[in-house]
Amino acid sequence: MKKFAVVLAGSGVFDGSEIHEATLTMYSISKNGAVYDVFAPDIEQHHVLNHLNGNEMDEKRNVLIESARLARGAVKNLSEFDPQNYDALIIPGGFGVAKNLCDFAFKGPDCQANPDLVKAMKAMKDMGKPIGALCIAPVLFPKVFGDQVELTIGQDAGTAEALENMGAVHKNTNHGEVVIDEKNKLFSTPCYMLDANIAQIGEGTDNIVKSMMKYM
């Protein structure tokens, strides 16, 4: 059976991984006959937000521990990732990607990415294995792989401009559409970067997983 590595950024759309996207990614992997392991970096979250009112909370949380909530406890430290054991890597969205896995939310095109994630992504690409990114997660592609990577974050003009300033080639997409960078085996779909319902998120996760599996 083909095996995915799913990389999470915590738990909760505003300061971690988007829960619908993460859950439906895992569901789509299983639904389409593959298996997965979940990974997250053992780092402190940038901050903790109250998801009811959006206010910042005076507490600290760990990305690995929070990701365990979504993985039902079965989460591995990203520093232990071995690309030999996986056929593909996929990253659901959520603000945690842009706050914890990188700092795009604060620095835009000048962002830096988590070194363990950079190492994992580069290793997978070097081995010719597909990498998928949902929602805001495609911002990692030009940061890790440089100019001319093809991707989508939907239709948000400001974010698209920032990505193009990083050297990416952005393509506008609608619900469920997947942009495939054939040369680099990079896959992206917009999910909640568009105004979406949960059924449309499921369509996106299913389409990107199916597309990636054709290259595995």
Burial 130-153, CB ≥16 within 10 A → b, else e: bbbbbbbbbbbbbbbbeeebbbbb
71: helix, strand or coil: coil
Token pair 């997947």 in the structure block, residue? 178
Q: Which residues are catalytic?
A: 135
- Residues 127/108/152/24 CA torsion (nearest 10 deg): 80
Q: Which residue has the tokens 């365990």?
A: 68
